[in-house]
Amino acid sequence: MVRNTASILLIEDDIRISELIKKALDAQGFIITQAFDGIVGEELALNKDYELVITDILLPSKNGLGICKTLKNIKPYLPIVMLTALGTTDDKVEGFDSGADDYLVKPFEIRELIVRIRALLKRHEKLGSNFLLKCEDLEMNLQTKIVKRGNIEIKLTPKEFKLLEFFLKNQGRVIPRLEIAEKVWGTYFDTGTNFIDVYINYLRKKIDKGYNKKLLHTQSGMGFILKA
């Protein structure tokens, strides 16, 4: 079920229209951030975790088509609703080609916008469950490559990310060092090396240090296990 508290970025330079949309969405419980300029809106969308973006096409600094292309290149699964007064078939095709998930021509009914928003959030929520890996409050998004524990984002190197992904996909199972070496590094290491242990320690410091509940454990003589 779609949460009414989803965070939405609204990029619209017409203050009257922006306020009308914000008021209607506020009443539905959504959390709305407003931007009145294309560049400002794009920077907000790139630097913050919104669950949906609504953008006009004709904007100061950068138009909605350019914003959409940039966002879809970096955050491909971020749903975008495009608003515009340009209603020809070619305009709509251009909007969808830029990556928009939905397209509404002005003037439109606010109720229709709300229905479209709910449908997109529901669709992306279902899609998100396919690429989200979790263990307790540790979460990995395979599309955005964002790893969090609670509300704190964890920065990992590519190899640490791959190692944690392997553990998350095999949580609750003791994994020997040789299996980790083969599946994560694509090779076999001499059993006497501490190479795997070094990376396990790197990972443990990032996901467990400072938390009372530890997730990554060593099973003496057997390997390692990630478990709740």
Q: What is the pLDDT of residues 99-145, one digit of tens each?
A: 888 888 888 999 999 999 999 888 877 665 567 889 999 999 887 78
| pTM attached to this predicted model | 0.60
- The per-residue pLDDT for 57 is 93
Domain that holds residue 146: 132-226
Distance CA 198, CA 114 (A): 51
pLDDT tens digits for range 38-48: 999 999 999 88
Same domain, 86 and 140: no
Same domain, 25 and 88: yes
Mean pLDDT of the residues in the chain: 88
Q: Is the pLDDT of residue 2 over 80?
A: no
Same domain, 14 and 118: yes
- 3-class DSSP string for the chain: CCCCCCEEEEECCCHHHHHHHHHHHHHCCCEEEEECCHHHHHHHHHHCCCCEEEEECCCCCCCHHHHHHHHHHHCCCCCEEEEECCCCHHHHHHHHHCCCCEEEECCCCHHHHHHHHHHHHHHHHHHHCCCEEEECCEEEECCCCCEEECCEEECCCHHHHHHHHHHHHCCCCCECHHHHHHHHHCCCCCCCCCHHHHHHHHHHHHHCCCCCCCCEEEECCCEEEECC
Choose the weakest-confidence range: 90-94, 179-183, 220-224. Answer: 90-94
Same domain, 118 and 11: yes
Same domain, 15 and 118: yes
Comparison of pLDDT for 30 and 89, the residue scoring more:
30
Same domain, 124 and 136: no
Of the three residues 128, 152, 187, the one that is the final residue of a domain is 128
2 occurs within a structural domain: no
Same domain, 190 and 162: yes
Same domain, 23 and 64: yes
Which ranges of 9-82 does DSSP label H, i.e. alpha helix? Answer: 15-27, 38-47, 64-74
- The per-residue pLDDT for 59 is 94
Beta-carbon neighbour count of residue 135 at 10 Å?
Answer: 19
Of the three residues 110, 128, 146, the one that is the final residue of a domain is 128
157 occurs within a structural domain: yes
- The per-residue pLDDT for 55 is 96
CATH number at residue 202: 1.10.10.10
pLDDT tens digits for range 53-111: 999 999 999 999 999 999 988 887 789 999 988 767 777 788 888 888 888 888 899 99
Cβ–Cβ under 8 Å, residues 132 and 140: yes
46 occurs within a structural domain: yes
Of the three residues 128, 146, 168, the one that is the final residue of a domain is 128
56 occurs within a structural domain: yes
Comparison of pLDDT for 203 and 3, the residue scoring more:
203
Domain count, the chain: 2
Same domain, 89 and 177: no
88 occurs within a structural domain: yes
42 occurs within a structural domain: yes
Same domain, 139 and 185: yes
CATH number at residue 79: 3.40.50.2300
